[in-house]
Structure 1
Amino acid sequence: MPTTAERQFALVLHTDGTFELIDWPTQDGATLPLLYSKIATDRVDVVSITSRLDMWLDDEGAGTKPLAEYATRLYGRYQPIHQPYFGTVVLTGGANQHGDTLGLTLDQALELITRWLDIVHTYRRHAVIPHPTRSPKG
């Protein structure tokens, strides 16, 4: 089993501000099915944010998926925003010399989570207040 330093990750960012840190597969043929599953589509596109950071999204998400406001704002922390993005997105590392998508290192993932939480906290319009599942004892 790989150590934490050897593991690769991806960050799944949902339109409601929640996220998932997942293991990025290193075996051939496993990455596209994972992207299809997490983004809920069978057509993905990739936006290169930096040479070490890519954002995967639904290729046909505009008009069919909710606005990914927080992911669009995260993109804006690295590049000027030239369009909004839609639906769940998956962040991965850049590509290697063969064009294979790399996962994020743990340090990259933690930095992105910190930025994500800052954006969600700053721009969330309504606080999410959990509803009690039972009434308090009185």
Structure 2
Amino acid sequence: MPEPRSDSRYALILRPSGSFDVIDWPTELAAGLNLLAREFNTTGVATFSMWPGVSLWTYVDAMMHRAAPLNRSAVNIHSASGYHPQEYYGTAAITGGPQRYTYTGLTLDGCYELLKIAGIDVPTMPKPRTK
């Protein structure tokens, strides 16, 4: 397995409202699971590998818990992966894929591409001027 890039250190948090956060993703799996448990307000966290190097995380009942709002961003990303359509409810997170007993993070470019797939408009940051 190739080593993750040094800039692969982020997780993308997708909320049902269409808002999102890009957060630091820890290198240790236990710390990542604790972070997600706090974000999802639960102790039951599940993951689904959608592409090599891309995993979707939800709380365990996110596919059945219809009392929570539908997360269209997570649904759009799941649909783009080519798997059978699946609805997700509540907050979801996207990280990199499994590697040596942990999960890698995403690059900022990867977060940007996933936001486009999710249907969330994000402006392109201008390059700094060097003059």
Instruction: Give the 3 Å change call, closer, same or farther, for CA 31–83 of structure 1 in structure 2.
Output: same
Give per-residue Cα distances to partners, 1:92-121, cap 9 Å, x unaligned.
00011x2311111222122112333xx146
Q: Percent identity?
A: 31
CA distance in 1, matches of 2:9, 2:81: 22
State yes or no: 1:113 paired with 2:127. no
Indicate the residue corresponding to 2:128 in structure 1.
none
Partner amino acid for 1:102? T
Indicate the residue corresponding to 1:132 in structure 2.
none
User: TM-score by structure 1 length?
Assistant: 0.73
More strand by share: 2
8 Å contact kept, 1:10–1:90: yes
Greater RCO between the two (CA within 8 Å, min separation 6)?
A: 2
> Cα RMSD (Å) of the superposition?
2.0
8 Å contact kept, 2:11–2:24: yes
Shift of 1:28: 5.6
Partner amino acid for 1:105? T
Indicate the residue corresponding to 2:51 in structure 1.
50
User: TM-score by structure 2 length?
Assistant: 0.77
Indicate the residue corresponding to 1:91 in structure 2.
94
The structure number with the bigger radius of gyration is: 1
Instruction: Give the 3 Å change call, closer, same or farther, for CA 15–31 of structure 1 in structure 2.
Output: same
Count of matched residue pairs: 115
Indicate the residue corresponding to 1:67 in structure 2.
70
CA distance in 2, matches of 1:112, 1:7: 14
CA distance in 1, matches of 2:72, 2:29: 32
SS of the equivalent of 1:108 reads helix
8 Å contact kept, 1:10–1:24: yes
